[in-house]
Structure 1
Amino acid sequence: MKVVLFNGSRKDNGCTFTALDLVAKSLEFEGIETEILNVGRRVFNGEIEDVVKTASEKVKNADGFVFGSPVYWASPSGELVMFMDRLWAAAGADFRFKPAASVSTCRRAGNTATLDVINKYFAYSAMPIVTSCYWNEVHGKTPEDVLKDEEGVQTLTMLGKNMAWLLKSIEAGKSSVTQPVWVDKVMTSFIR
């Protein structure tokens, strides 16, 4: 089993990468393969089509996902939102019924609003949303600060354990439980 983690920060090795690495290490401890893709900087540099193409291929074969973002203006980075918009347009069907989690990092506030925006993509695609023992967030201005946030570190470590448990449960149930059938959405217009 494999989980792909997407770093929506403009910094490849900043606070968001550090947070995602905590989740990845917890997943790996549970026997789950991981890969972190730094997408934020590449989107910022105008490489959106290339990064979406690469990510679309990864999504097909992955069993679960974690999307991480720093908080910019009390919401996810614009780079992550642009990436997710394009990725869902290109590979939305490949996300269906696969577990996902959101992770946010910030110096002060805006974390829960960031998590809410990211989680809406999952809800739209019938994806089980993985939670932890608190909101999937960590605080710090630097990667070193992130690691000092004991509650945040515990939360992200537990997130990895919970995702591993859900992935293993899904795998164990495949032989005896039928996956739901996707139906085309009814699109109601409220304007008459």
Structure 2
Amino acid sequence: MKVLLINGSPNAKGCTYTALEEVSKTLNQEGIETEIIHVGNKDIRGCIACRKCKTNGKCVFNDIVNEVAPKFNECDGIIIGSPVYYASANGTLISFIDRLFYSMPADKTMKVGAAVVSCRRGGNTSTFDEINKYFTISGMPVASSQYWNMVHGNSPEEVKQDLEGMQTMRTLGKNMAFLMKSIQLGKEQFGLPEKESHIFTNFIR
């Protein structure tokens, strides 16, 4: 089994990475393969709603989104990590996940998702909520921990001093591994949930 960890920070080895690395180590201890992908320093434009991905099977902008999409398709879980700036996720990261989630044609049902946020002081819960919505609109179970998945600190060294935050990351790793393994057993015994044809409510005045 494999989990992708997306580092949405501009800093490759900063606070967000420190949190993701702690989760990654725990997942590895639980027998789960991991890969941390750094996207926060890339030039990633937002979606332009051209819908070409619905016919091409990939985004019209051929950048890191299309590189990650096959890995997202094959993985069993994904963790999206972001720093907090203006009480929201990094803008580059949002452009990335907007296009990744919309353009990847494969079914995401029962892939496990988790958000990890890093902040100096505040704005973390709104960022946490923002990222989790990508999972819940996609039929993806959300992995929880002993607290909201966040760390505090203005440097990697300070994040490591946030003992509760680091413990929260380890608990997230253990819980995510358990959830992924349980879902795998469930799929083998019961299969995936049956789906109805999608209904879209569009009111006409």
TM range (shorter): over 0.9
Match of 1:22 in 2: 22
Corresponding pairs, count: 191
Confirm or deny: 8 A CA contact 2:153 2:159 kept in the other structure. yes
Match of 2:97 in 1: 84
Normalized per residue, the structure richer in helix is 1
**Percent identity for Structure 1 against Structure 2:** 51
Match of 1:139 in 2: 152
Between the aligned partners of 1:78 and 1:49, the Cα distance in structure 2 is 19
TM-score (normalizing by structure 2):
0.88
Between the aligned partners of 2:102 and 2:185, the Cα distance in structure 1 is 30
Moved more, 29-38 or 90-99: 90-99
Cα shift readout 1:62-106 (whole Å, capped 9, x = no counterpart): 000100000010000001110011101211534222010000000
Query: 108, 113, 130: which one pairs with 1:117?
Result: 130
- SS of 2:41's equivalent in the other structure is helix
Query: 72, 76, 85: which one pairs with 1:72?
Result: 85
Moved more, 180-189 or 157-166: 180-189
- C-alpha displacement at 1:45, in angstroms? 9.2
- C-alpha displacement at 1:13, in angstroms? 0.9
Cα shift readout 1:95-122 (whole Å, capped 9, x = no counterpart): 2220100000000001110010100010
- C-alpha displacement at 1:190, in angstroms? 3.7
Between the aligned partners of 2:67 and 2:195, the Cα distance in structure 1 is 25
Match of 2:112 in 1: 99
- C-alpha displacement at 1:177, in angstroms? 1.4
Matched, 1:180 2:187: no
Moved more, 166-175 or 146-155: 166-175
Cα shift readout 1:18-70 (whole Å, capped 9, x = no counterpart): 11001100100111000000011113699x74210111011111000100000
Between the aligned partners of 1:99 and 1:72, the Cα distance in structure 2 is 26
Task: Tell me which structure has the larger Cα radius of gyration.
Answer: 2
Q: CA RMSD in A?
A: 1.7
- SS of 1:96's equivalent in the other structure is coil
Confirm or deny: 8 A CA contact 2:15 2:155 kept in the other structure. yes
Unmatched 5+ stretches in structure 1: none
Task: Give the letter for the 1:161 counterpart.
Answer: K
